[in-house]
Structure 1
C-alpha cells in the first residue's frame, strides 16, 4: 500500500474517532483501528506510527465542528455509523491507556504442558498485539526449582503449541537465565532500606505479621543487610534460615501484603541451570522486575492475582517506575474437567493415572491437537469469551461446535463399524463401487463389494425378520434371517428407504476391512472395522459416518488407531 493511501486511511479513522468522542484521538486508538481493518500493515507499524502522529497534530489545531465537516467530505457514512445503535459486540474491547507501542507478554511457569486455560492468555495477548501492531513476548517465569519445578520438555511444548495456535513471539525470555539481574535490583532496594534479610521462621513471622508487629530484623542498617545478602548468595545460610523481604506497610489491612518474601534459599538443582544459583526470586519479584525491564505496557491476569499487583507496586514506587496497565479477568471453569491445576495433572501422570500429557482425558493443547481439535476453533472461542471479571463456566460443547464448522466442509468421510456383525446378502451387483469421499467435494473412494458385509451389531439387534434397511450409498435389503444374519437385495433406489423410514447404516466388506481402535475422550476404546482407504489418512481428521470426527493417529499393517474428537 502506498504512503498516500495509508495517510488517507489514518485521517479517515482519526476524524471518525474525534467526532465520536469529541476530543483529539489517542494514537493507540487510531493505530488499533488501522491495524484491525488492514492487518497487512502490521509489519509496517514503525513506518506508520509517525504518520499517525502527523495526523493527530493536524487535528489538534481544528475545532469539533471542523472535524465533523471534514468527515462529511471524506466519508459521510462514517457519521451515520458513529450515531447508529449497535448490538453489543462479542470479543475483545479496545485497550485502555495506549500511549505508544503496545508490549504484552504471556508468562507461564513451564511445569507441564499448556492447557486450555493457558490458551486463553496466549490467544488474547497475541490478538491485542496484532490489533495494535505491537510486540508479543513469551517469558518463562521458571524461578521455582522446588515447589512448582519446571519440566524440561515443557519449554519446547510451549513454543510448539504457540506456533500451532498461530502465535509467533517476537522474543522468548527465560527468567532462569537472568537471575543475576534480579540480585542487582535486590541490592538497590536494600541500599534504599526498602528490603531486609529476615531470619524469622515462618511461624514466628506469621505471629508477628498477624499482630501487625515488625520483624526484629526489619530496621537493620542497609550496610549490614547488604553483608547478610551476600552471605545468602555465598551459601553461608542453610535452606529456610533466611529470606529477603520487601518492606511494605506492616499494618496493611491485607496480611498478604505485609513485608512479603522476595528471595529464598533453595539448593535443589534447577532443570535448566543446575546448581548455578541457590537464592531464587519469588514470582512476584521476578515478574515485577521483568515487566519493567521488558517495557510491558499492558498485563492481563486473573483476578485472583490482584494481591500480586499490590505487592509489586511497592517495588515500582520505591524505584520510581510506572506500573503497566492491568486488566483482570475471571477464571475458566470447564464443565467437563472442573477446576484443575498443572501441578496436579503432572502428579497424576507420574502415578500412571494418565498415559502422558497428550492423554485424551486431559485439557491440554497436546491432547486436543491429538484428537483433531483445530487451533482456529480454540482461537475463536477464546476471543469471543472476552475479558469479563466474572468467572466463566465453559462447556467443551462450545468448542466442539466451532470445530465442527471448520471440519465439516473439508473432512473426508469413511465407514467405521463398531462391534461388527457379518450379514450375508443374496442378490445385488458385485465388484468395485465408487463412493463419494464427501457430499460436497469431488473425489471417490473405491470399495470392493461381495456377498457379505460387516454392519454394526447395535443396528442389527434392533431389527426383526422382514425389516428393511439401506446400506448407505449401496442398496436396500430385507432381513430374511436373524440367526445366522441374512438378507436379500431390494434394489438401489435411495428414495424408497426414505419413504418408508428405513434405517440407513454404514458397512464394510469383509475382504478389505481393517481393524480400527478409536480412543474416546474418557479413555475408553471402541474397537471395530473400517474401510481400507482410511489407511492413507494418517495424521488427518476424518469423519466416520454416523459415529463422529476422529483423527487418524497411527497406521500399521495390523491396526489403525484413531482419537475421537466429537460428534
Structure 2
C-alpha cells in the first residue's frame, strides 16, 4: 500500500471519528482503528503517526458541517456504518409493543431496594431497561421499592447512590419514584379491593394458614363480609392488632400452585423506617406495591429474573379485579459472576462493618462503586451488559469479558509508566550518565515523552520475578535505557554493554525498571495488594487510569507520601 493510499484511509477514519463524536479526534483512536482495519500496517506504526497527525491538524480546523460534507463525499459508507452499529451494538431483541396504545410511550423501570449501592447485577437491570427505553424513544423510571423496614432495611445514602451511579453509567433515569412516599395510594386501592370482596383480613398465624393453604382449604376469615374486613383493616392501620394479622388477596384457594393461593398484600411492621420513621405501621408486600406502581407509572414492559415468574401470576389477580391491563413481561436467567464468589448486599455490609472491607468501593467487591474507583469505563460496562441480551438461560459471567471490553477503550487513553513491584536493586557498572526517553503513549508521540535521569554506574530497580528469571551472563535490555550483562546474582550486579538494539535479535529480553528515587506505590487489587516503585511522572496522573508497563492498567487514586493506585485489569 503506497503512502497516498494510506493518507486517504487515515483521513477517512479521522473524519469518521470527528463526525461520530462532534469534536477533533485523538491520534490514538484513529491509529487504533487504522490498525484494526489494516493489521498489515502494524509494522509501519512509526511512519503512520506523522500521516495521522497531519490529517488531524487539518480536520481540527473544520466545522462539524464541513466534516460531515467531506465524509459524505469521500466515504458515505462510514456514516452508514456508524448508524448500523448504533442500532445493532445493543444486542437486544426487539420488544413486543403491541400493547402500547396511540399516544402512549414505551415505559420501563428498574426497581431496586436501596439497602445498599448498585451491584454489577443491578447495573445490568439499569443498563438494559435504559437502552430499551431509548431504543423506542420511551421512558426509563427508577423506582425504589423500599417497603421493607425490617428484613431489607433501606440505607438513606443508597437512594442517591443509585441515581448518581446510573448517571455515571450513562443511564440517567427520566423519573425517580420512592414507594415509601406513596403508602396512602396503596391504602386507597387496598380498600377498593376490600369493598369488592377481593381482599380480607386474616388472623391465622403463619403455620396455621400454610397447613390450610397446602390442603386447599380456606381460612376461617376468608368469607367475612366487606364491612367486617374494612373494620379490621382500619384496626390494623391503628395498630390494634399483633403482627401476625395480614391483609390477603383472594385468589383461587384450590389453585394447582399453592404459592398463588390467597397471597399476602399487607403486613404489620412496627420497626422504624429510615425515611418515614414510624408514620406507618402497615406496609405493602413487594408483590402488591410493585403491581400498583407498574400501573400508576404506565409501565408497558417489565424485565425481571426468572425466579420471579410467579409474581406476574399473583399480580394478574389484582389487575383483573381492577380492570387493568398487565404489562408485557420478559424474564432473564441468573448471572453467576465468576471470580467473586457469593456476594449479597447483606454479606458485603457485614464485611464492611467488621472492617474486612474498606467500604462499598473496596476493589474486592462486585459493586458499581468499586468498578468506578478501579477505573473502568462506563461504556465498557454498558457494552458487556447489553451483549448478554435478555434470555432465560443462566449465564456465567467472567470478569475477563469486562476486562477485554474495557481494554478496547482505555488502551488508547492511558499514558504509560514504569512500575516495579517487589523491587530489587541492580547495580550497573560502567554505565554513563544519561536520560531515558520514553513516549507517554507508543502510538501517540504528540502527547510527549517521559524523561528519567540516570546517574553513571547507577542502581536501578527491577522486579524480583525478573531477577529470578535470569542467570549470570544473560544480556538484558532495560527498556528505553540501555543493555546490560549480568555479572553477579548476589550481590545483584551487571555491566553496561551499550545501546545497540540488535541484541534483541540475539535473544536478549526487554524488561522494565524504575529509578531508585522513584515514587513508592501501593496498588490495591481484587486479589491482593502490590507494593513497589514507579516513575515520578505518575504524580501528574491523579484520578487517571495509566498503564504500568508489563503489569496492569491502574487508576491513580491518591498521591501523598505513598501513591495509592487501584488495580483496573491486566
TM tier, shorter chain? 0.7 to 0.9
Helix, strand or coil at the partner of 1:196: strand
1:289-328 equivalent positions in 2, closer than 5 A: 289-328=292-331
Aligned match of 2:202 in 198, 201, 223?
198
Aligned to 2:141: 137
Give the structure-2-normalised TM-score.
0.82
Pair 1:468 & 2:472 matched:
no
Q: Distance in 2 between matches of 1:359 and 1:249?
A: 48
Q: Distance in 2 between matches of 1:89 and 1:268?
A: 47
Pair 1:208 & 2:212 matched:
yes
Aligned to 1:516: 521
TM-aligned CA distance change 1:39 to 1:310, over 3 Å: farther
Q: Distance in 1 between matches of 2:319 and 2:347?
A: 34
Aligned to 1:480: 487
Q: Distance in 2 between matches of 1:307 and 1:339?
A: 25
Pair 1:188 & 2:192 matched:
yes
Q: Which piece of structure 1 moves more, 474-483 or 101-110?
A: 474-483
Q: Report the count of equivalent residues.
A: 479
Give the aligned CA root-mean-square deviation in angstroms. Answer: 1.8
Aligned match of 1:391 in 394, 399, 403?
394
Aligned to 2:358: 355
Aligned match of 1:504 in 510, 528, 533?
510
Q: CA offset at residue 330 of structure 1?
A: 0.6
Gaps of 5+ in 1: 1-37, 41-87
Helix, strand or coil at the partner of 2:515: coil
Q: CA offset at residue 547 of structure 1?
A: 0.4
Aligned match of 1:122 in 126, 130, 144?
126
Helix, strand or coil at the partner of 1:366: helix
Conservation of the 8 A alpha-carbon contact between 2:437 and 2:480: no
1:44-443 equivalent positions in 2, closer than 5 A: 91-98=91-98, 99=100, 100-240=104-244, 242-441=245-444, 442=446, 443=448
Q: Distance in 1 between matches of 2:500 and 2:144?
A: 63
Conservation of the 8 A alpha-carbon contact between 1:335 and 1:393: yes
Q: Distance in 2 between matches of 1:350 and 1:253?
A: 44
Aligned to 2:27: none
Cα offsets for 1:507-565 (capped at 9, x unmatched): 1111x31111111112x211011111111111111111000111111110x10111111
Conservation of the 8 A alpha-carbon contact between 2:90 and 2:131: no
Aligned to 2:453: 448
Q: Distance in 2 between matches of 1:219 and 1:352?
A: 54
Cα offsets for 1:421-472 (capped at 9, x unmatched): 1112123332433321110112112211122211112211222221110110
Conservation of the 8 A alpha-carbon contact between 1:412 and 1:437: yes
Q: Distance in 1 between matches of 2:502 and 2:295?
A: 70
Helix, strand or coil at the partner of 1:292: helix
Helix, strand or coil at the partner of 2:477: strand
Q: CA offset at residue 210 of structure 1?
A: 0.6
Q: CA offset at residue 378 of structure 1?
A: 0.8
Aligned to 2:60: none
Conservation of the 8 A alpha-carbon contact between 1:113 and 1:364: yes
Conservation of the 8 A alpha-carbon contact between 1:102 and 1:129: yes
Q: Distance in 2 between matches of 1:152 and 1:503?
A: 55
Give the structure-1-normalised TM-score.
0.82
TM-aligned CA distance change 1:285 to 1:355, over 3 Å: same
Pair 1:459 & 2:466 matched:
yes
